[in-house]
Structure 1
Amino acid sequence: MKPGTNLLLMVLLFLASSCNQNSRKQLSGEELTDLPLEYAKSFEIQNGRNFKKLKIYGIGSDSTNYETFKLVPSTDKVAPQQGVIPVPCKRIICLSSTQLTYFFELDNIKNIVAINSSRHLSHKGMNEKIDAGLVKRVGKEGHFNIELIASLNPDVIFVSPFKSGGYDALKSLGFNLVPMAAYEEETPLGRAEWIKMIAAFTDQEELADSIFNGVAQRYLALKEMAAKVEKLPTVFSGKMRSGTWYVPGGDSFYAHYFRDAGAEYVFTDDKKAAYPLDFESVYSTAAQCDYWRILLPDPIDYNKASMIAEDVRYGDFKAFRENRIFACNIRKKPYYEQNAMKPDVILADYIHFLHPELLPDYQPEFYELLK
């Protein structure tokens, strides 16, 4: 055989082998296309021919630490097994109220059969289902009613990766536990984009895209408006809790919010999470700040007098003296069950206080001046 003929034969064999491999790959449904994500970093979805592959990264978005789930059509009658979930799911358990916001936004709570607790829950439809016994309360981390959960036979249980206790017992029963790591996202829009992950379980991807695009457009328009201001007011956040002041890091989720609202956050480190400081350390940095933002889990009538009763030193802050404390009291407002899908609303709230001239007719939804 001539050398040229031998080379041609090798090439043909290689091409035939490649075609066969590609055919097998396509037939097995392993050709995957990525779902486009603009802001979320802690999950990925890939679409196969007749399934979806979901990858959720561990805390810290460590690419070497993730969980993978295969979502298959429920019409395929696949037997229940770890890592394989028929969709749309018909029996869903949410073990954190923050997960519910995505279902509320999709207007789809019909298949939720249990939640961890209804304390402070304000959603009318969900409360009606709880009162009617259609949605069960299964307890909190470490105190789950395992027997009740088992009797509900859920298709999927959404859990918080930031909490622990009781998960091993649930997993040992063969249930699929899907971590909701939206609160690992570093930007407000990254957190909101997790609606696309939930939609993969409810077959509402098109609606999720539409909702998210609307939120993102409104958020970016507000951000652009605030970026044009000439003077950036200074802002700080939080207050003492059990002798410690937890300060959002300079590159944290809340720091992004403040900068997008046209403010200068006074803690300029590169930390992404909140960290503890004593009163003196906070005061030395924030005493002359223009504004003070607080998220309150306190009685509904909490006010400036309540602050002074807690610690008379609060009165020494400039923002306190000049009545520039804007606060959201989670006892009055459904912050935790809505905030993930309302970054545009929260940004508008911030801008209303930080730059009142930009949104003169706006009525804040979550925050209000502390009286």
Structure 2
Amino acid sequence: MIFPRPTPRRLTGALLSVALLGAALAGCAATPAAPSTSTTMDASPSAGAATLDANGCITNYQAGVDYFPVKSEITHAKNFSLSYHDSYQVLTVPQPTEGGTPEEYVLVKCGAPVPELTGELAGAPVVTTPVTALYSASTTHLPFLVELDALDALTGVGTKGFISEKQVQDRVAEPGVVEFSPTGTIDAETVIAGKPQVLITAGYDDPAYAVISAAGIPVVANADWLENDPLGRAEYLKFFAALTGTEQRAAEAFATVEQRYQQIAASAANASKVAVVPGQPFQGTWYIPGGDSYTNRLIEDAGGTTAWADDTTTGSIPSDLETVLAKAGTAPVALASTTWTTKAEALADEPRLAEFAAYQAGDAWNAAKDVTPAGGNNFYELGVARPDLVLGDLVAILHPELAPNHDFAFYLQLG
């Protein structure tokens, strides 16, 4: 079943409402059947048939046979790509960290020999797939493993307390699942002792990675946060499918999310743009999403705009409250992304927010509806994999007439 873990509340949020999207979206909600579990896959007629065991490993390797009958096609993500070479894939990450140089990883299907690596691939980390012992440095990875039915492969996480999804919380509570960065600093000794097949980074460098790599544990970069397209981030489902051998399931699941997102965006495409004041001040600085940023793309697709929409910055624009007030003080809607759940909390942190029209009118919202007692916010976990849910909330905020009785997944109104 596609994305079985969201509650009916969340699925309703993604669909907005029957009145909004009608029969077309209702049809889209039908879930395709799970891929076959047969251990025999078709190869080319000249190569004959090749068999896989129950673990997805090749049992009678034959050179020249294509062992990837289903190949992922990357259509939105820009910061990773996959190429196929019979019994192995090459995963390329153009920016493993912001401004970093490209890195390549060789993913070899178990039961096949490691290929001779030359040229740009000489010395590239080699990962045997399907992976059965994976360490994850970011909570954004976790919903993808759930959707791919590969959560059993998760044997280590950075910080357990930041995890939001109940299914993942239950998994990391099991014996043997390691926490390797409880204080925010990666413990290389803990990782090495755990002997995972691969450690997936959060797109930032850490001195521990060199130590871990030197110990023979592949460290694979995942800088999903550098993707500016919400569907590009969601497409990292296929990144994890390459590691877990679940390409068919990933293709079906992503197609569903993509279709839902596009249909929700289409519902607001002809609506009048609503001005938004995005974010909030933090320690004297107000970070505004640039016009080509991930956050601004969501606002635009929801039928909104900001005073910075024409700025081509892909990240955040540092500003101050006075400048933001001058440029966006009359915007009728505020979209915050912090811990506030009430207007009183917001004004206690920054009394001058009372000068903004959105706070005066009570139309200030915050992505803090689904937060754990330990501080894990599902907006930054499930929201990455499900931009259709986020977009559904934003359309309901900016154009409530398009989404009557919308049940919010991530946003709450600061009452």
Q: Go from structure 1 to structure 2 and tell me whether the alpha carbon gap of 1:152 and 1:88 turns closer, same or farther (over 3 Å shift).
A: same
Question: Do the aligned partners of 2:198 and 2:218 also contact (CA within 8 Å) in 1?
Answer: yes
Paired position in structure 2 for 1:167:
209
- Give the aligned residue type for 1:327: N
- 1:305: how far off? 1.0
Equivalent residues in 2 for 1:158-197, closer than 5 Å: 158-197=200-239
Q: Residue 310 in 1 paired to residue 378 in 2?
A: no
The TM-score normalised by the length of structure 2 is: 0.76
Distance 1:204 1:277 in 2: 44
Paired position in structure 2 for 1:265:
306
Query: Could you list the runs of 4 or more consecutive aligned residues of structure 1 that deviate by over 6 angstroms after TM superposition?
Result: 26-30
Local SS of the residue matching 1:42: coil
- Give the aligned residue type for 2:89: K
**Cα deviation 1:146-202 (Å, max 9, x = unaligned):** 222112211110002235342222122121111111111111001101111110010
- 1:120: how far off? 3.2
If asked which structure has higher relative contact order (CA below 8 Å, sep 6+), I would say 2
Distance 1:318 1:28 in 2: 66
- 1:249: how far off? 0.7
Distance 1:51 1:313 in 2: 57
Question: Do the aligned partners of 1:82 and 1:174 also contact (CA within 8 Å) in 2?
Answer: no
Which of 231, 235, 254 is 2:276 aligned to?
A: 235
Computing the radius of gyration over CA atoms, which structure comes out larger, 1 or 2? 1
Which of 61, 79, 86 is 1:49 aligned to?
A: 86
Question: Do the aligned partners of 1:29 and 1:48 also contact (CA within 8 Å) in 2?
Answer: no
Q: Residue 37 in 1 paired to residue 74 in 2?
A: yes
Local SS of the residue matching 2:151: coil
Paired position in structure 1 for 2:379:
335
Paired position in structure 2 for 1:18:
none
**Cα deviation 1:35-76 (Å, max 9, x = unaligned):** 4221111111011111111111116887x9311111111123
Paired position in structure 2 for 1:246:
287
- 1:125: how far off? 3.0
Q: Go from structure 1 to structure 2 and tell me whether the alpha carbon gap of 1:65 and 1:265 turns closer, same or farther (over 3 Å shift).
A: same
Greater Cα offset, 245-254 or 125-134: 125-134
Question: Do the aligned partners of 2:229 and 2:297 also contact (CA within 8 Å) in 1?
Answer: yes
The TM-score normalised by the length of structure 1 is: 0.85
Question: Do the aligned partners of 1:85 and 1:156 also contact (CA within 8 Å) in 2?
Answer: yes
Paired position in structure 2 for 1:11:
none
Paired position in structure 2 for 1:19:
none
- 1:77: how far off? 6.1
- 1:131: how far off? 2.6
User: C-alpha root-mean-square deviation of aligned residues, in Å?
Assistant: 2.6
Q: Go from structure 1 to structure 2 and tell me whether the alpha carbon gap of 1:297 and 1:312 turns closer, same or farther (over 3 Å shift).
A: closer
Question: Do the aligned partners of 2:106 and 2:124 also contact (CA within 8 Å) in 1?
Answer: no
Distance 2:193 2:114 in 1: 20
Distance 1:306 1:37 in 2: 42
Which of 391, 395, 400 is 1:347 aligned to?
A: 391
Which of 324, 333, 355 is 2:363 aligned to?
A: 324
Q: Residue 69 in 1 paired to residue 105 in 2?
A: yes
Local SS of the residue matching 1:216: helix
Distance 1:250 1:128 in 2: 39
Greater Cα offset, 208-217 or 355-364: 355-364
- Give the aligned residue type for 1:310: D
Equivalent residues in 2 for 1:69-218, closer than 5 Å: 69-76=105-112, 78=114, 83-139=125-181, 143-218=185-260
Greater Cα offset, 114-123 or 211-220: 114-123
Question: Do the aligned partners of 1:35 and 1:44 also contact (CA within 8 Å) in 2?
Answer: no
Q: Go from structure 1 to structure 2 and tell me whether the alpha carbon gap of 1:162 and 1:144 turns closer, same or farther (over 3 Å shift).
A: closer
Distance 1:70 1:200 in 2: 11
Q: Which runs of 5+ in 1 are unaligned?
A: 1-25
- 1:349: how far off? 0.2
Question: Do the aligned partners of 1:314 and 1:320 also contact (CA within 8 Å) in 2?
Answer: yes
Distance 1:27 1:109 in 2: 32
Paired position in structure 2 for 1:20:
none
Question: Do the aligned partners of 1:120 and 1:331 also contact (CA within 8 Å) in 2?
Answer: no
